[in-house]
Structure 1
Amino acid sequence: MALTSLWEDLHPHPAPAEAVVDGEWDALVIGAGITGLTTATLLARAGLAVAVLEARHVGAGTTGRSTAKVSLLQGTQYSRISRRHSDAVLRGYAAANAEALAWVTRFCDDHGVEYQRRPAYTYATSEQGERSVRAELTALHKAGVDGATWVDEVPLPFSTTGAVRLDDQVQLDPLELLAGLRAEAVEHGVSIVEGARVRRLHGHGPYTVETEAGEATAPLVVVATNMPILDRGGFFARAEPARSYGLAFRTSGSAVDGMYLSADSPSRSLRDTPAPTGSLLLVGGDGHKTGTSGSELGHLDSLRAWTHEHFPDAEETHAWSAQDYVPHHALPYAGPILPGADRLLIAGGYSKWGMTNGVAAALAITARVLGGNLEWASTFEPWSTHELTGVPDSIRINAAVALEMTSGWVRKIATRDDAPICTHLGGVLRRNDAEDSWDCPLHGSRFGPDGSVLEGPATCALRGSGA
């Protein structure tokens, strides 16, 4: 079945016009999520002729299925970075996210996009979780996020062992933000072409981008698809794809008054959002590596059961899922796809915090292109020595991929399984029982029931599907 996020329901997208891709541009941006549209807007403001190529429609990917917390407090992300990197890198990450948060709020203020200020909490429900949260508080202080404080009492309807609190963070409707960005981009001359899936790219500058709807050329290409759809650089082997789930509920009153995320597993995310009939409660979490769950529907049911336990009057209105990518070295990437390829740039790997990191990546890329200087931008460099800290995780990730590749084919041959084969690197796909899709356990590519591509790095539909 199709799962539709609350945001997608609030902002139904019209069927895109027949896509036509042609011409020569100063810059081509691939992907129309928060990173792609922010990048296109900033480049167009500087006077460049820009086209955005989107495989489906604006916001069809992770942005339109986000919990849309625009926050410097990010679960236990800072302590994860701190275990791998220096305090200077940690401060650079915090500075990047702070600048992105400020940019988003300025944009919303200037363009009439609604948002709400809320305190953010990373909370614990066990002794082990408390240790994790206290380590996060230490990392936040090392990073220079001085407003983060410890609280013993957390205003939630179940027992906790304390939390980190950071006031004055932001939540919003991500598709309302994208609508504002789209209008701003178009006003500055950006051409946004929906239904134009990129198949391949060739050349060494200018580049020719081939899509299902024609070709276009540009001396600058930005691949803003989170997981790069180009295999140059092997980024598919340097991050782990992760799916998580979201539910929206009506409740009799205001269920929560902040943005909450658990440090304990399985993860539980909470926030509210305004709705025409009052506030809605949003519950998320229960994540897992793409294609490796016995039952995706089981994860949604787990969230439902947990919600009804703690919010007995909650009435479900929407259910959905999202895909994110978690890099092996814990940092996002924004920069050249290969060393020296300064006009073929990528952005992604946001570890589920794309509302700030996606904007920061766009700021870093446009500063590089336009000659600006952001002190923190080196934190996002994809080919720096920072990558070395991720080698152990990279070995683990790719060993698991190799095992899955082998076991998948053994199972297919031994049982004569008719599961289709991923068009990226030949992994045996697994059926997703929550969305009737085919998901790849190797690198996270996903395909609809008609064989069409839902998530990269694959760019071609399943063979024989006709999609």
Structure 2
Amino acid sequence: MNHQHPEPYWRKDTHLQSYPKLDRNLKVDAVVVGGGIAGITTAYFLAKGGKKVALIEADRVLNGTTGHTTAKITAQHGLIYDELMQHFGTEYARHYYESNLKALDWIKEIGKGIDCDLREQDAYVYAETNEYLQKVQKEYDAYLELGIDGELVETIPLDIPIKQAIVMKGQAQFHPLKFFKHLIESFIELGGQVFEQTPAETIEDDTATKVITSSGYHLECNKVAICTHFPFFDGMGLYFTKMYAERSYIIGIKSEKKFPGGMYINAEDPSRSFRSVVQEGGELILIGGENHKAGQGKDTREHYEALEKCGQSVFGDTETLHRWSAQDLISVDKVPYIGTLTPKHPTIFVATGFKKWGMTTGTLSGMILSDLILGNHNIHADLYAPSRFVADPSIKHFISQNVDVAKHLVKGKLQIPFKSSGNLKSGEGGVVWHEGKKCGGYRDTDGKLHLVDNTCTHLGCETAWNQGDLTWDCPCHGSRFSPEGTVIEGPAQKPLPSIDE
């Protein structure tokens, strides 16, 4: 496979500015933790509302899930509306649609005035089997009842044989880094401050609300918005029991066959999505899918190979120019958590669990959180309140997710390594024996061996080696670590302990 650019397509020639590390104590009106969609939009709206705001990011802004997206801006979140109507009622589903439509319209309004490759597109969900044909037809019935601008069609412009598809009109796509780069610059013009390489370690909210960084500095404020993909501070909200992490994969291919326009996703599993972007030198087709729970499943390289085979079956001879993966958090009822962290923490707010639709729901988070912090009424806030826990289907999913966690907790403890650390080849990693002890090993391309205790520092599950991304992934709650053990993604906050050779 030829992968000239292992980084996501979006990073190429975007020229994101670097921001300083926090090197002092600070007092502001609000602190926003997390430099992705939700964090940037929340900070922007708060600054527009006249607040003195600091945005802090553990790594670089726009380097996490936002930088690894397929960048569809749509209120069509798979086959969601019939499911929402069945479980929660028509008004609930209508609020979900209208709230995401507001986010979509806002992005389109701002995007038309800046250089971010914004293009309006129709979005399709298609069925390839009779089983999912019925589900697509039921989803169309939901569209009709909710007044969604959609259509049921027998064929789609993409050269794929289908049973039927549902199309949602007037959706969009864009270059996410260009768009949110503009938003960051606007935030700074409004007086906002951005600090990178500034991990937040905890929050104190006894006498005053303070965000404490890993370097020991504190940011005193009136309100905190946690927009760190997985909340770095739980506050006994038990978010790790109410969400699970799912990985998906994207490749960018070049083909002589022209892409017909539109954005497409199948209804079946494994998932497949298609859209194109215009870049210097021609058109790039993005193919995504191959979803699975983080830390579980086959060798991740096989997922990329499956997407390449899919691309060849649809577009003929292709060349893979980019490949990357993303990790998404899914709540037990498939609706994001946006609002007060817990009833006992009225000054701390959270936005998480965007499933795979963070372009709209992340933007919506900024709208809702800023309204709550500014004291404005938001008619959609109750729908997304983290304190909700609806019996159907939340309890069923809550139980199944935690049974799955228990299964992998035990399974990992019983895993027997098949290799010793000395047998690892250059660029290879895995669970190995080293001096009579089980541990995680990785031999880098220079031949150096990196050994860690591969037990996740969150709740003790055994992490699995991800050969495609060269990371240690936790199958229980989705924490990810570098080969050397550094935390890449929570809920874990402490690194995997290193083991001396």
Q: TM-score, normalised by structure 1?
A: 0.95
CA contact (8 A) 1:21 1:196 kept: no
Instruction: Give 1:78 shift.
Output: 2.1
Give the aligned partner of residue 396 of structure 1: 400
Counterpart amino acid of residue 177 in structure 1: F
Instruction: Give 1:198 shift.
Output: 1.3
Counterpart amino acid of residue 169 in structure 2: D
Counterpart amino acid of residue 282 in structure 1: L
CA contact (8 A) 1:367 1:373 kept: yes
CA contact (8 A) 2:227 2:351 kept: yes
Give the aligned partner of residue 187 of structure 1: 189
Give the aligned partner of residue 411 of structure 1: 415
Give the aligned partner of residue 267 of structure 2: 263
The reply to whether residue 373 of structure 1 matches residue 377 of structure 2 is yes
Instruction: Give 1:317 shift.
Output: 0.7
**What SS does the aligned partner of 1:227 have?**
coil
- Matched residues in 2 for 1:35 and 1:368: separation? 14
- Matched residues in 1 for 2:316 and 2:135: separation? 29
Instruction: Give 1:24 shift.
Output: 0.9
- Matched residues in 1 for 2:262 and 2:413: separation? 47
The reply to whether residue 221 of structure 1 matches residue 224 of structure 2 is yes
The reply to whether residue 360 of structure 1 matches residue 364 of structure 2 is yes
**What SS does the aligned partner of 2:152 have?**
strand
- Matched residues in 2 for 1:26 and 1:63: separation? 26
CA contact (8 A) 1:296 1:433 kept: yes
- Matched residues in 1 for 2:373 and 2:417: separation? 50
Deviating more after overlay: 350-359 vs 135-144: 135-144
Which of 473, 492, 497 aligns to 1:439? It is 473
Q: After superposition, what is the alpha-carbon deviation per residue over 1:315-353, rounded to whole angstroms, capped at 9, x for unaligned? A: 111000001011001211111111152210000111110
Deviating more after overlay: 176-185 vs 5-14: 5-14
Counterpart amino acid of residue 279 in structure 1: E
Distance change >3 Å, CA 106–CA 342, structure 1 → 2: farther
Deviating more after overlay: 111-120 vs 214-223: 111-120
Deviating more after overlay: 336-345 vs 201-210: 201-210
Counterpart amino acid of residue 441 in structure 1: P
- Matched residues in 2 for 1:52 and 1:142: separation? 41
Larger radius of gyration: 2
Counterpart amino acid of residue 295 in structure 1: D
Give the aligned partner of residue 494 of structure 2: 460
The reply to whether residue 429 of structure 1 matches residue 463 of structure 2 is yes
Instruction: Give 1:413 shift.
Output: 9.4
Counterpart amino acid of residue 42 in structure 2: T
Give the aligned partner of residue 37 of structure 2: 34
Aligned 1:306-385 pairs, distance under 5 A: 306-385=310-389
Instruction: Give 1:387 shift.
Output: 6.6
- Matched residues in 2 for 1:284 and 1:112: separation? 25
CA contact (8 A) 2:209 2:347 kept: no
**What SS does the aligned partner of 1:195 have?**
coil
Give the aligned partner of residue 160 of structure 2: 158
- Matched residues in 2 for 1:134 and 1:182: separation? 42
Give the aligned partner of residue 128 of structure 1: 131
The reply to whether residue 80 of structure 1 matches residue 101 of structure 2 is no
Counterpart amino acid of residue 427 in structure 1: C
- Matched residues in 2 for 1:22 and 1:109: separation? 39
Q: After superposition, what is the alpha-carbon deviation per residue over 1:16-72, rounded to whole angstroms, capped at 9, x for unaligned? A: 544425211111101010100000000011111111110111111111111110012
Give the aligned partner of residue 296 of structure 1: 300
- Matched residues in 2 for 1:69 and 1:413: separation? 41
Counterpart amino acid of residue 163 in structure 1: A
CA contact (8 A) 1:335 1:342 kept: no
Q: After superposition, what is the alpha-carbon deviation per residue over 1:120-171, rounded to whole angstroms, capped at 9, x for unaligned? A: 10011111121121122223333331x1110001112221111001222110
- Matched residues in 2 for 1:314 and 1:113: separation? 26
- Matched residues in 2 for 1:151 and 1:14: separation? 45
- Matched residues in 2 for 1:226 and 1:262: separation? 26
Counterpart amino acid of residue 438 in structure 2: D
Deviating more after overlay: 153-162 vs 32-41: 153-162
Give the aligned partner of residue 113 of structure 1: 116
Q: After superposition, what is the alpha-carbon deviation per residue over 1:433-463, rounded to whole angstroms, capped at 9, x for unaligned? A: 1011000001001011222221111222222
Aligned 1:22-101 pairs, distance under 5 A: 22-101=25-104
The reply to whether residue 209 of structure 1 matches residue 230 of structure 2 is no
CA contact (8 A) 1:51 1:191 kept: yes
- Matched residues in 2 for 1:413 and 1:432: separation? 15
- Matched residues in 1 for 2:128 and 2:311: separation? 15
* Superposed CA RMSD: 2.1
Distance change >3 Å, CA 24–CA 18, structure 1 → 2: closer
Distance change >3 Å, CA 9–CA 113, structure 1 → 2: closer
Instruction: Give 1:384 shift.
Output: 2.6
Instruction: Give 1:15 shift.
Output: 5.9
CA contact (8 A) 1:29 1:223 kept: yes
- Matched residues in 2 for 1:107 and 1:465: separation? 50
Distance change >3 Å, CA 332–CA 143, structure 1 → 2: farther
Unpaired runs of 5+ in structure 2?
Answer: 419-432, 441-453
Counterpart amino acid of residue 475 in structure 2: P
- Matched residues in 2 for 1:9 and 1:205: separation? 46
CA contact (8 A) 2:116 2:176 kept: no
Distance change >3 Å, CA 230–CA 126, structure 1 → 2: same
- Matched residues in 2 for 1:260 and 1:358: separation? 21
**What SS does the aligned partner of 1:47 have?**
coil
CA contact (8 A) 2:200 2:212 kept: yes
Instruction: Give 1:260 shift.
Output: 0.2
Task: Give the number of the structure with larger relative contact order, counting CA–CA contacts within 8 Å between residues 6 or more apart.
Answer: 1
Deviating more after overlay: 213-222 vs 178-187: 213-222
Q: After superposition, what is the alpha-carbon deviation per residue over 1:340-390, rounded to whole angstroms, capped at 9, x for unaligned? A: 522100001111101001111111111112222222221111113547631
